[in-house]
Structure 1
Amino acid sequence: MAGNNNNRLAGTVYVTVDGQDYPLVGSFEYSPALVTRETLTGNDRVHGYSEKPVAPHIAGTIRDSGGLSVAAINAMTNVTVVAELANGKIIIGRNMWTVESQTSKQDDATIEVRWEGPTGSVQES
């Protein structure tokens, strides 16, 4: 699992969903962000910004191993996603659901998965 090496910043990631390990291939990302902002400008100056809520998320590409069910991933609606990062961080997403349609790619047996959740569902520790 993720070690406590102060010099290691990136590399290995271990992901579980409701305690079940998933073989992560890459493209791991997460965001605990609650809002997105856009600067509002006029012809004369910057007027301010607009702010809209966004769903916190955890995403990555997993390997379609023999026992994995793509349909089961698509059916996830209230799961806990835990990621252990190489830098020692633990990312926990609670009450998450999958979004988009998951597709298993034959050429490399990969599936892109994105979990989103309610406000405050993704925490870093």
Structure 2
Amino acid sequence: MGQKVAGTCYIKVDGEQLVITGGVEVPFSDVKRETIVKGYFKEEDITPYVKVDAIKTPGLDRSKITKGTNIVVTAEFRDGTSYVLSGAYLVDDAPFSGDDGKLSLKFEGISGDWQ
């Protein structure tokens, strides 16, 4: 029997749902490990984030997205799991393409929790 593991995702920024075009990226782990020599490794914390391509729809709260510094971003995945990013803020450039109405958004935050 097959199991649904991918498909439609839902993204909410402080409760307001975004219209997205597909790709949503979040970290699966909260640490990054690197081998120093066989059997020994170092470990670094990963900054929690949500990366998504969204559509600039009429009524999209641009100010909340660009100026917010304590946002909650929720990514709900088709397999029933969610990733909640707390204390979030927009990082990097947020390019908008007038050709297809897409915004590329990356939020980083204080805490990222799988639920």
1:51-62, aligned counterparts within 5 Å? 51-62=43-54
8 A Cα contact 1:32 1:57, kept in partner: no
* 1:30 partnered with 2:22: no
Structure with larger Rg: 1
Letter in 2 for 1:85: F
After superposition, the C-alpha distances for 1:70-117 in whole angstroms (9 at most, x for unaligned) are 454221211111122111112211111111011111111111111111
Query: 1:15, 1:109 → 2: CA distance?
Result: 17
Task: State the match for 2:15 in structure 1.
Answer: 19
Gaps of 5+ in 1: 1-5
Gaps of 5+ in 2: none
**Which stretch shifts more, 17-26 or 31-40?**
31-40
Which runs of at least 4 in structure 1 moved beyond 3 Å after TM superposition?
A: 69-72
TM-score by length of 2: 0.85
TM-score by length of 1: 0.79
8 A Cα contact 1:15 1:81, kept in partner: yes
Residues matched between the structures, number: 114
Query: 1:124, 1:17 → 2: CA distance?
Result: 16
Percent of aligned pairs sharing the same letter: 26
